Structure 1
Amino acid sequence: MQVWNGADQVPADLGPTVATLGIFDGVHRGHQVVLAATVSEAEAAGLTSVAVTFDPHPATVHRPEQDFVLIASLTDRLERLASTGLDAVLVLDYTLEFAQATAEEFARRYLVELLGAHLVVAGEDLRFGRANAGDRHTMVELGRSLGFGVEIIEDIACPDTGRRWSSTWVRELLAGGDVAGAAHVLGRTHRVRGVVVHGFKRGRALGYPTANLRADDLGLVPADGVYAGWLIRPEHAPDDGTSKRLPAAVSIGTNPTFHGVERTVEAYVLGRTDLDLYDEEVVVELVERLRPMVDFDGVPALLDQMADDVARTAAILGVPAPARPEVSFPSG
């Protein structure tokens, strides 16, 4: 899949396309229906399928005072868009100036003149143009006047609950720590991505060395607690003869037993004390929440719980459970 970072990267000889547009935050199951229709229509007509997305998220531009975090980073969003079979994605820089374009100005400049849209595919909740004044009805009218077809995909609801697939639903589930529920809406395991940094090395002293990620720049981090998951190293990471996808017990929170204040994501790769992951960008996939974060009455109780967390993680992930480390936290 080609990625065009800005209008100036779109090839002049692109030819006609089937296009769709949206933030696609999380690329959840509802997004996937729209994207699949875009790809299918393009293949049937022998045209190029293109998704137009925006970075940063409009909410962070219009309401910078709000603590808004994307479900997935742009890197992960593009990776997920690529998995749908799209030929290309156009990433437009969203600024206050860009936001002043009317719905007609946006459609004319980007969909018609830049992408040569033969057909535009969109969901029922489509909004575009200044003040989000453009909707699906606007797009149909613009298609008639500017010469492109429009296909509107009706909202698809979860058959179990009747609720429409949405980024809002994903956010609600993650806020409650329900990563398994979020995975159902997303159609894949929720993940965070970040660079491994030096921590306090408490885990190493306890026999459970962890890869530490600061929780302020990872994507949408779920509620504090302990999770079963996977730590995924980049393909270019040093080859140590093992898989780049490693089973992990993941702790999210401030380490209340040690009176911590900084919120972190810490991943212990089961049975591994030899990994040197510092300065690597890793992905942590969160499969299931084991428990909330607890302030334990001393290190021995914490060690007992950590051993149980590791055993449960291994069972959930279907991997062998490592032996409990024969260490204790130094006193004094």
Structure 2
Amino acid sequence: MRVFRSLDQLPAGYGPTVIAIGNFDGVHCGHRWIIEHARSRARDLNAKCIAVTFDPHPVRVLRPDVAPRLITTMPERLRLLAETGLDATVVLPFTEEFSHLPAEVFARDVLRQGLHAVEVHEGDSFRFGYQAQAGIHELIALGHEYGFTVAAHHLRTVRGFPVSSSQIRQRVAAGDMTAARALLGRPFSILSKPARGRGIGAEQTVPTINLAPYRELLPAIGVYITRMKIGEGPAALTFNSVTNAGNRPTFGADSFAVESHLLDFHPVPLTEETPLELTFLKRIREEKRFPSPGALKAQILRDVAYAMRYFHLMQVLSTAKNAKS
């Protein structure tokens, strides 16, 4: 998938295109459903299929005081979009000036003249233009005027939940990793690096890794069954793990940390720049204060035993599923 950071970066004559527009935070199953429809139409029309997204998130420019924490950072969002089979993603810089662009100018100058759109796919709650002045009906009318058609898609639901980025944020913030996984179409995960200043050398020799401070979306404070991927590419290693996301109240600390205990640990290369991916599978319990470090250690052993039973069951189910297929 090619990535263009402005309309000027598109090669001359790039197109015709079938376009899906959105923030695509999380690249959840609703996003992928719309993109798959767009890809199918692109094949029918012998056109390129592209996504149009914005950086930073528009709310961070227009209302930074209420801006959401992101499900996926832009590099992860682009990686996930590439997996959908898109030909390209156009990342438009969202600025105060861009926010004042009238809906008609966006349709004419960006969609038609800039991207050579012949068809646009969007959710039926889509709003665009200055002060979100226009919606899907206005986009359809502008498409008739400027020579592209519009396919409006209804909001989907999964397990009774609407499939939307805001709903996924709510589920993750509540620690409901099962619902978040259903809406995302994959487990929720974050990309980070090891915390600085914790004595990390050329090799990690203890089975605990603290993540660097993370400013985007994290699950509710508590203890989770997780998986930790260390490194990237063919050399990456993945460990089953138990993760505490919280303030470590037993030790009187008041500093939030995401600390993962690797269950099947062996020493691995690790520096402060090593990429980490932490995937949250299931919440075990809330974080709480224990009367002593010994009581905390006993609870950790129970958490580890619970997690090991979980991973064993997952392995059994996976083996049974593979045997049937």
- For the criterion TM > 0.5, the same-fold answer is yes
Distance 1:307 1:199, change over 3 A: farther
Q: Which residue of 2 aligns with 1:260?
A: 253
| Cα distance, 1:208 vs structure 2 | 6.2
2:239/2:264 contact within 8 Å kept: no
Q: Which runs of structure 2 are paired with 1:1-332 in the superposition (5 Å)?
A: 1-66=1-66, 68-158=68-158, 160-161=159-160, 163-198=161-196, 209-217=207-215, 219-236=216-233, 239=235, 244-272=237-265, 274-279=267-272, 280-318=274-312
Contact 1:215-1:221 within 8 A present in 2 as well:
no
8 Å CA contact 1:214, 1:263 repeated in 2: no
Q: How far 1:151 moved relative to its partner?
A: 0.9
Q: How far did 1:25 drift? A: 1.3
Contact 2:196 2:212 in 1 (8 A): no
Query: Hey, what's the Cα distance between the residues in 1 that align with 2:116 and 2:231?
Result: 36
Paired residues of 1:198 and 1:278 also in contact (CA < 8 A): no
Cα RMSD of the aligned pairs, angstroms, is 2.1
- In structure 2, the CA distance between the partners of 1:316 and 1:271, relative to structure 1 (3 Å rule), is same
| Cα deviation, residue 148, structure 1 | 0.7
Look up the equivalent residue of 1:129 and give its one-letter code: G
Partner SS state of residue 296, structure 2 = helix
| Structure 1: runs of 5+ lacking an equivalent | 202-206, 321-332
| Structure 1 CA distance for aligned equivalents of residues 18 and 148 of structure 2 | 10
Aligned equivalent of 1:323: none
Moved over 6 A (4+): none
CA distance in 2, matches of 1:85, 1:314: 36
Structure 1 residues 252 and 131: CA distance shift in structure 2, 3 A: same
Q: Which amino acid in the other structure matches residue 230 of structure 1?
A: R
Does the 8 Å CA contact 1:227/1:289 hold for their aligned counterparts?
yes
Deviation per residue, 1:114-166 (Å, 9 max, x gap): 110011111111111111112100110110000111111122222x32x4211
Q: Which amino acid in the other structure matches residue 265 of structure 1?
A: V
SS at match of 1:14: coil
For residue 67 of structure 1, report the CA deviation from its aligned partner: 5.5
Q: TM-score, normalised by structure 2?
A: 0.89
Distance 1:293 1:208, change over 3 A: farther
Asked if the contact 2:240/2:264 (under 8 Å) is kept, the reply is no
Counterpart AA for 2:43: E
The alignment of Structure 1 onto Structure 2 pairs a total of residues equal to 309
Q: 1:77 Cα deviation (Å)?
A: 1.2
CA contact (8 A) 1:229 1:248 kept: yes
- 1:92 is displaced (CA, Å) by 0.8
- Structure 2 CA distance, aligned partners of 1:234 and 1:87? 28
Q: Quick one: which amino acid aligns to residue 170 of structure 1?
A: I
Amino acid at match of 1:315: R
Q: Which has the higher helix share?
A: 2
Percent identity between the two aligned chains: 34
Letter in 2 for 1:307: L
Unaligned runs of 5+ in 2: 200-204, 315-325
The amino acid of 2:279's aligned partner reads E
